[in-house]
């Protein structure tokens, strides 16, 4: 009746009295002062140090995700810190909890679409037909196509050409980038919206993560890494110029205004 135990193994890190090893490297002599923070994230995720080109590209990809201004997540982090100033980590955690399908889902979705489409292997010459099939499938199923169009950034998302140029420059632009671009072009044609559905930042990130062989299920993790930095940044500003209490008081005052009037 006894369940068979599986051994527990991990290669992330371990320590001895005089040495700390992380993913096979010595922290003090091979990481500190040698790898920048984005390189370290690459090492953690892929288990190896990036090439110089991968380093440039991956740092840029993560940088795209750090700061999106006064998002609901940033407000939630500030409000949580107001209530629990002894737990800065929980304030960031609260903000990260909001990084779900509404805001972070489409890079994941674009990566999934691209990775599933190219799983079987294709010649470049077959990609236009593949893009047409993907667009047609989404249209027929009445699903939005991940990674294209943006409510604010029109007619182009300024991050996309920059990210694609960095990929080109570092030799990381391949079939995933090409397919993503073809899907955007095909969507504009099929939906009759010329110039309105360019590849957006999440589409670019989904394509580039795929070029770096990062599984689509982990794409939200890139957003989490970036945004954790951004939320700490918002707390740094909250320390200098607090707004959380003012937001709370305004919302509380207005939501209860009818009740308070009734009793006066």
Q: Give the residue with the Cβ less far from a second copy, 63 or 132.
A: 63
Which of 49, 74, 131, 183: binder of a second copy (CB under 8 A)? 74
Question: What does DSSP say about strands 25-26 and 13-16: parallel, antiparallel, or unpaired?
Answer: unpaired
Cβ neighbors of 166 (< 8 A, separation 6 or more) are: 56, 57, 60
Peptide bond connecting 161 to the previous residue in cis, omega within 30 degrees of 0: no
CB of 186 to a second copy, least distance (A): 24
128 binds a second copy (CB under 8 A): no
Which residues in the 194-233 window bind a second copy by CB under 8 A? 215, 217-218, 220-226, 228-230, 232-233
The DSSP bridge partners found for residue 115 are none
261 binds a second copy (CB under 8 A): no
* 124 and 175 Cβ atoms separated by less than 8 Å: yes
7 binds a second copy (CB under 8 A): yes
How many residues bind a second copy, per CB under 8 A?
129
248 binds a second copy (CB under 8 A): yes
Cβ neighbors of 177 (< 8 A, separation 6 or more) are: 164, 167, 207, 208, 211
Which of 119, 120, 141, 263: binder of a second copy (CB under 8 A)? 263
Residues found in the chain: 264
241 binds a second copy (CB under 8 A): yes
CB of 24 to a second copy, least distance (A): 10
Which of 51, 53, 82, 196: binder of a second copy (CB under 8 A)? 82
Q: Give the residue with the Cβ less far from a second copy, 158 or 171.
A: 158
132 binds a second copy (CB under 8 A): no
Which span sits near a second copy by CB under 8 A: 116-124, 134-142, 180-188, 245-253? 245-253
Which residues in the 134-163 window bind a second copy by CB under 8 A? 152-154, 156, 158-159, 161-163
Which residues in the 165-194 window bind a second copy by CB under 8 A? 166
């Amino acid at each position: 009746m006894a369940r068979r135990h599986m051994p527990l193994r991990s290669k992330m890190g371990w320590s001895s009295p005089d040495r700390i090893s992380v993913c096979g490297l010595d922290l003090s002599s091979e990481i500190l002062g040698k790898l920048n923070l984005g390189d370290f994230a690459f090492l953690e995720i892929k288990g190896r140090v990036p090439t110089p080109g991968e380093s440039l590209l991956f740092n840029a990809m993560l940088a795209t995700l750090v700061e999106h201004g006064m998002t609901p997540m940033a407000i939630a982090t500030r409000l949580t810190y107001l209530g629990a100033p002894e737990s800065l980590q929980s304030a960031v955690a609260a903000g990260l909890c909001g990084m779900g399908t509404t805001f972070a889902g489409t890079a994941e979705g674009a990566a999934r679409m691209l990775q599933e489409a190219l799983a079987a292997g294709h010649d470049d010459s077959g990609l236009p037909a593949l893009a047409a099939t993907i667009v047609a499938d989404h249209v027929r199923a009445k699903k939005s196509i991940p990674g294209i169009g943006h409510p604010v950034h029109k007619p182009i998302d300024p991050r996309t050409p920059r990210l694609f140029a960095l990929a080109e420059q570092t030799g990381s632009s391949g079939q995933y980038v090409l397919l993503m671009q073809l899907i955007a072009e095909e969507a504009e044609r099929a939906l009759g919206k010329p110039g309105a559905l360019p590849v957006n930042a999440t589409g670019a990130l989904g394509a580039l993560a795929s070029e770096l062989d990062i599984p689509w299920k982990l794409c939200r993790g890139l957003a989490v890494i970036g945004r954790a930095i951004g939320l700490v940044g918002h707390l740094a500003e909250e320390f200098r110029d607090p707004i959380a209490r003012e937001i709370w008081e305004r919302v509380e005052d207005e939501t209860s205004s009818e009740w308070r009037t009734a009793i006066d």
